[in-house]
Every structure is written in structure tokens, then in C-alpha cells.
Amino acid sequence: MDTHLHHDPPRHDPHDHHHETHFKSSESVRDVVIGMADGLTVPFALAAGLSGAIFGPKIVVTAGLAEIAAGSIAMGLGGYLAARSQAEHYISEKKREAWEVIHKPEAEAAEIREVFEGYGLTEAEITPIIAALERNPETYVQFMMRFELGLEEPNPKRALQSAITIGISYIIGGLIPLAPYIFLTQHAAAFQLSCIVTLLALYVFGFVKGRFTGSNPWRSAFETAGIGGIAATVAYTLAKAFS
């Protein structure tokens, strides 16, 4: 008796498409990393420096909030300009490739041969590919953008999304070292709690960042916490020395 179960192969709807999300996700993660890392480190160092100069919690909070406001705007604007520059660069390169496909077909074909020869394809295998691309100039340009220049078409909403993500991440990160100064009236206690909470947050953030970016999460955690700790220590020491 045959006890094996036979299953029909799964049927795939030809209208179903697999959408790659790695590129967009990696950009969002990068924005969060940029905003959160600076948001945790810079206000923490500022608060430590002001504590070293023996300023009260109210001054630390006021200066810290001002720094967070300015820093989040500056970082968000920087992210916006960087993403917009990337989009403008892509558009410029695409126009150049479109012109070359029409006016320099021999040079473009030679570049395609170089690409495929790098993958071990023969001239006989490459020739029909070039012929197929030449029949569709738009696909030809897209191919050259991706495989010759290594450029992916950016999301048109990327610049605004990047600015918002970086800015919000900076604000969230910056409020962590300031929170003890907001809720505690004793300067020494607020400073100590700020150090503990911020270093712990840096450690956790570094660990999560390592998991998302594919690096060793433990090493990333120690490096992130170490950088923040060094920055705060230097700021505190200098303020203490000159106060």
C-alpha cells in the first residue's frame, strides 16, 4: 500500500509579484541609526559638560532642549538634502545614459559586453542580449543604470521621509539623557541617573543596530556605548577643568 502523499505543485498567480524591500528598509534603518545615534550622544555630552560646570538641572534642561531642537532640524535638513542630491544625481545620470544609448550605441554595447564577460558569458551568449536591449531603449537605460553605474531609482518621497525619520529619531534619542534632569531636582542624582540611563540606551541601541545591519550585535553595543561614554567624559572633564 502506497502511504506517500502526493501533492500538486503550488500554483502561482502570474499577477503576483515579489517586491524587494531590502533597499528601502536599509535606508530607513540607516536614517534611524543616524538620528538616534547623534540624538543620544550629543545631548548626553552637552548635559555632562553642563553638569561638570555645576549648572543646575533647569539650565541643563533648557540648554538640552534648545540643542535637541536645533540638532533635529539640522540633521533632518541634512538628510533631506542628501536624499534630494541622490535623486538629482540619478536623474542626471539617467539622462546621460539615455543620450548615449541613442548616440553612442557601439560604446554602450561594449560596456554591456564588459559587464557580462565579468560573469563568464561568451560573445555568442552576449550578442542576443544586446540585440534585445537595443529593441527597448527604456529597458536598455534601466539596465545600464543598475549594472553599469550601480544606481537604483530612488523613491520620489525619499527626501521628506528621510528628513522626518532622522529628525524624530534625534528628538527621541535626545530626550533620554535629559529625562532625569526634567524629573529630578537634585543635580547630582540627575547626572548619575542620566549617565546610567543613557549608557544603557546606547548599549541597547547599539545591539539592535548590529542586528539590523548584520554586524556583531555585542560588538556594536559596546562600541556605541563606548563612543557615547567617551564623548560625555571628555565634555564633563573639560567643563570641570575650566569652571
pLDDT of amino acid 170: 92
| pLDDT confidence tier of residue 171, bands split at 50, 70 and 90 | very high
| Of residues 37, 53, 47, the one with CA closest to residue 177 | 47
Domain boundaries, the chain: 26-242
Expressed in angstroms, the distance from the first to the final Cα of the chain is 91
The model's pLDDT over 132-143, given as tens digits with 9 standing for 90+, comes to 777 777 777 777
**DSSP single-letter state for residue 149:** S
The model's pLDDT over 95-134, given as tens digits with 9 standing for 90+, comes to 887 787 777 778 777 877 877 777 777 878 878 877 877 7
Distance of CA 233 to the CA centre of its chain: 27
Kindly tell me the burial class for residue 85, based on how many C-beta atoms sit within 10 Å of its own C-beta (0-12, 13-18, 19 or more): exposed
Mean pLDDT value across the chain? 79
The model's pLDDT over 8-32, given as tens digits with 9 standing for 90+, comes to 444 444 444 444 444 445 777 788 8
- Is residue 207 within 8 A of residue 218, CB to CB? The reply is yes
35 contacts: CB under 8 Å, gap ≥ 6: 72, 75, 76, 79, 165, 166, 167, 168, 169, 170, 172, 173
pLDDT of amino acid 172: 92
Q: Is the pLDDT of residue 234 over 50?
A: yes
| Of residues 170, 226, 176, 172, the one with CA closest to residue 201 | 176
